[in-house]
Structure 1
């Protein structure tokens, strides 16, 4: 069983849960893979801590996923807020050849110590690009 485990974290209102649902839609509808998503957020719906996890089974013969939670270390980690970045440690992502990717937004994260220790870390200013290209930060989760 080859699973691909993804975690998206940020704060409510950034589109964290929407992004995770787009990933499972792309995996299941367009690639024909079994995929599932779980989500959690703090009591504050907007502005509070929020995260979602996606599990995709890469074996097309698998019809369902037996355990829907992504487990650390993740294959892919997307971090969109400073509060989430403060929680990240280097051992949160895998170090295998085709996994262990970290994507984070420097326009919302000023200090990210964990990113320096992860070899496959990519800094993309998604909120800044969303404003420049589309005139609204709402599109940051789709960049």
Structure 2
């Protein structure tokens, strides 16, 4: 794997303080592929879509189609001094012909105040039968039932 994918200074960092609320406006400027946005070990509270306020809805992740915008609030942890990955995972079907270096996931770092400069060692929540993941704006059942994902919409 190229060094650019593993160096701590190669990822965008969003610096945060503990016990604060942060608003993220996520825009998919793609022309074709949707992506699934999440922050490891943090809930996202969707508060707006395409510039329109919606009834707040908490979820593990949100799928953002091309040309869509979502506003989410994230409440930071009370006493964390570590980093967490921010993930955008392509919803494109995986193919054996895809570039083996590009995994379909791009990452940034949610860096807490006083956290080390190192990359996080976090993972996205594992979806299980007992602890299904709540995903907002999944346009169709892109996930097999075995993936234990519950789908929700915030559209009226």
TM range (shorter): 0.3 to 0.5
In terms of fraction of residues, the more helix-rich structure is 1
Q: Which has the higher contact order (CA 8 A, sep 6+)?
A: 2
Structure showing the higher strand proportion among its residues: 2
